[in-house]
Chain A
């Protein structure tokens, strides 16, 4: 019996391959979007993990020299002999590859991600010849030298080797950049300042810097992932609803012929599971393609924005494709639950004609309305009170779900109003008929709403970020040229050489400090109009710049102000001296707090710091000549001289990459939403014939009917877009003003981009129209006989 029933169920698909295709395609698309975004996030996360594991960043305290210079190897030995369990690290770049030198005998994490089974020969690693571990691409970029061991777990663009080998490769004998402090230290040890007073201890952070920096970017991606999943569920729901609706008569017949209900349900569930697995597999493959197309852009964006290295190559992680299949199965189960419930309660004897979808009963509409109201009120309360990341996400969720629930009710009211206001009988019929169709389309319209709102929200956020950030770069990169000296001697010579040639030399010097218990960077700036003219203060006391120039006042950045609660007027102790805060400035993209003071004040606090980097002010016309002179007369390598235009161009390139990713995801979500509309219209098409037949009989041509169907779809899309725009803006506001502040400590001003929204609305209409085109065309070509049948007994 099972085989017979199964063959009957499956034969439906062979006879209706298009339906099978839409079901599979819908599921596959939803899975693809979800798993594509997941793949990108997973790849990036894996890259950070590898980086963190390599460097012990985050998980261990570290010792560095206060002036940022490398320390002598003797300092390391002195510390060890004083009972300090520290391990040396030297790192640098060679041919674009980051070389990390470790001492495996003392490193608390050994060699980090390198596995001993991967061909490590410790004897060779430690002595003489050496071994270098890294991914194939990083290894290939290295010149000939130590034996290379392909090691996919090492962070991208990085190789790990013994510290002795690294010092030799980098030509830095006897130098150490930092010391990792083992978590467990002996019971007795000499104090740090008696052995190495020039070292500063940096406390381990719970997450790696790189991770926190790039969170903002991943937040966008994750938001996209979740939204596309929600949209995907709508689509799957539509596809399954269609499949069940169309097979309802067959199900009845099978039961009348003696197939028990339970067996029928089991078989249909098995059938769905198989379809979900097939579609899920296709979706995972598609997602892989999407991810591998987007990943290079994502990697470039992260590298450019934050200096985080992410491999441009995607690896197939079992957890990832398994979760993709899981999402396809789980999503199908969720979407099918309602269909199964209806199937189980399908009366055996009711007329075998498809049940007409009528306006939802008043009670369930009221429940839905009440739920939407509760959620939206909750969103309102959260918008006023939310201070944490969790609350921020709760706000996003209540806002989106509330709006999606409210949409059909809003549309129903609007259509009812239009019906009342319209005069002609044809128009009245049109509005009433549209209203009648609403329940069947509401899921698809909710999907469209979410897709559009997400697009408005995320693109507003990204564009606002870009505007703010480029404006900020204009302030910050006021100097025409930036030069970096190799050591203190060269820095001195450079300053002397430059003095008569430029309008101003602005040293860039900083020292690590702790303010209100937060890791903070103290920045010492030469008093110059450059800062006064270009730095915008978010809040300040009068004559703030003069007070700073006086040497007793400081400025702090926004994230330090927000995290510590420090504000203008507060007093901050630094290295035993008190400073008054006279201003707060925006400092986007910086993960830690910053204190701005004059060079003089800085030098009294940190006399040992020698600036190696300088900003140069000069007329822009003189830049090329000076660059040439720096190369020819001073002998600075080209990499040590950066012109401002180059940095800005680079930043813009980075943002363009970001936009490639955002735009691609925008288009994909809209496509999915369009697909949802198509599904719904196809589901409705069979039911539409009896509804339209009377209109046809009364004199509307089939062509007119088809056209009206098309107009109806576009109209509903327009109405949905009208709701989506404010929703999207609310979403953007929540992301910028609440989620961003909670996550990163700075609030981005929100800008509006009406042209973008217009274009997006246009896309949405085109998507809706395209989705409606085929059902409308089919309707226009319905044989009159089919319409006539409505009036005969045969249906």
Chain B
């Protein structure tokens, strides 16, 4: 199993006292599988994604990713997981504005020490970014920028791709296009994909689907 999440808990301190965002979440995902995570705003889906991606530490429960228990890792270890095992596609594209598109695509692969020029070229090609490689992010449209972010995430061939409303900032037509490309490429790399979305239509394109409500899995949705 690529990912096993058991009884995951997370609490935030707020002005009105502690708030339990996650109250015991269980899920599993295997390589090559795709899973959509839906839920209302505040249901905890982004938090779940961040915990799995090693961006934050849980207060209880276990996350075993590719055989490693994330709880045993310190900040540096989690940074290594982010660098090598998982790739995260954010709602905000989080490109590095001072680097050219080509360098942005290659960036995470270089960080992970797994830069493969031919693969990066393939990604740029498939994402339709070949004519944009010498431009800077600010010169690209939102859809183009998100395609760059997806290419960057896939460049080091992560075992697990996490996507947090990757098309939330895009119009519907662009969103469909981008998502299709992402699914296609993820399938090609054989990675697992966990995507947070509030769109039923997008969630419908995934193999599995879980609904999160009040910090718990409310059950698979047909």
Contacts and interface: CB of A to CB of B under 8 A. Distances in A.
Interface of A: 1, 4-5, 7-8, 11-12, 14-16, 249-250, 252-262, 348-349, 352, 793-794
Contacts of B95: 253
B135 to A, nearest CB: 12
A260 B73 CA distance: 13
Interface string B79-90: 111111000101
Contacts of B169: 793-794
B111 A257 contact: yes
A207 to B, nearest CB: 56
A701 to B, nearest CB: 26
Contact of A8 (B84, B98, B142): B98
B62 to A, nearest CB: 21
B98 A14 contact: yes
A252 B97 contact: no
Contacts of B99: 7-8, 11
- Smallest CB-CB A-B distances: 3 pairs: A258-B83, A258-B82, A15-B98
Contacts of B142: 794
Given A5-B111, A15-B97, 15 more contacts: A1-B110, A4-B111, A7-B103, A8-B98, A11-B99, A15-B136, A16-B98, A250-B96, A250-B98, A253-B94, A256-B94, A258-B112, A259-B79, A261-B75, A348-B56
A650 to B, nearest CB: 61
A15 B98 CA distance: 6
B97 A250 contact: yes
Interface in B65-108: 75-76, 79-84, 88, 90, 92, 94-99, 103, 107-108
B110 A253 contact: no
B111 A1 contact: yes
B81 A258 contact: yes
A260 B80 CA distance: 8
Contacts of B90: 256
Given A260-B75, A260-B76, A4 B110 contact: yes
A782 to B, nearest CB: 15
Interface string B7-36: 000000000000000000000000000000
Contacts of A7: 99, 103
Contact of A349 (B55, B98, B111): B55
A259 B111 contact: yes
A262 B81 CA distance: 16
A261 B74 CA distance: 12
Contacts of B75: 260-261
22 contacts: A4-B111, A7-B99, A7-B103, A8-B107, A11-B99, A12-B98, A15-B97, A250-B96, A252-B94, A256-B90, A256-B94, A257-B82, A258-B81, A258-B83, A258-B84, A258-B111, A259-B111, A261-B79, A348-B56, A349-B50, A349-B56, A352-B94
A138 to B, nearest CB: 57
B220 interface: no
Given A15-B136, A16-B98, A794-B142, A260 B79 contact: yes
B42 interface: no
B204 interface: no
A253 B79 contact: no
Contact of B113 (A1, A349, A794): A1
Given A262-B76, A349-B50, A349-B56, A257 B107 contact: yes
Interface string B117-147: 0000000000000000000100000100000
A12 B96 CA distance: 9
Given A256-B55, A260-B79, A11 B111 contact: no
Contacts of A14: 98
A729 B204 CA distance: 76
B88 A8 contact: no
Contacts, number: 74
Contacts of A253: 94-96
Nearest to A795: B92
B83 A257 contact: yes
Chain A interface helix/strand/loop/mixed? helix
A256 B96 contact: no
Nearest to A3: B110
Contacts of B108: 257-258
A489 B113 CA distance: 98
A255 B94 contact: no
Contacts of B81: 258
A250 to B, nearest CB: 6
B79 A255 contact: yes
Contacts of A15: 97-98, 136
A254 B83 CA distance: 10
Contacts of A352: 92, 94
B50 to A, nearest CB: 6
A725 B24 CA distance: 65
A256 B111 CA distance: 12
A477 B85 CA distance: 90
Contacts of B88: 256
Contacts of B56: 348-349
Contacts of A256: 55, 82, 88, 90, 94
B119 to A, nearest CB: 17
A16 B138 CA distance: 13
A151 to B, nearest CB: 56
Nearest to B77: A260
A11 B94 contact: no
Nearest to A264: B79
Given A4-B110, A257-B83, A11 B50 contact: no
Contacts of A250: 96-98
Specify which of B96, B110, B111, B142 lies most central, judged by the most chain A CB atoms within 10 Å of its CB. B96
Nearest to A353: B92
Contacts of B83: 1, 257-259
Contacts of B76: 260, 262
Contacts of A257: 82-83, 107-108, 111
B92 A8 contact: no
Contacts of B50: 349
A253 B93 CA distance: 9
Contacts of A261: 75, 79
Contacts of B113: 1
A283 B113 CA distance: 40
Nearest to B85: A258
A260 B81 CA distance: 11
Contacts of A259: 79, 83, 111
Contacts of A348: 55-56
A7 B115 CA distance: 15
Contact of B98 (A4, A5, A11, A794): A11
Interface in B36-61: 50, 55-56
B77 to A, nearest CB: 9
Given A256-B88, A348-B55, A349-B50, A11 B96 contact: yes
Contacts of B84: 258
A254 B96 CA distance: 8
A793 B76 CA distance: 32
A168 B95 CA distance: 84
Nearest to A5: B111
Contacts of B82: 256-258
A221 to B, nearest CB: 43
A581 to B, nearest CB: 77
Nearest to B112: A258
A525 B38 CA distance: 106
A250 B97 CA distance: 8
A549 B114 CA distance: 102
A349 B94 CA distance: 12
Nearest to B168: A793
A249 B90 CA distance: 13
A7 to B, nearest CB: 8
B57 to A, nearest CB: 10
A11 B95 CA distance: 13
A255 B79 CA distance: 7
Nearest to A250: B96
Contacts of B107: 4, 8, 257
Contacts of A11: 96, 98-99, 103
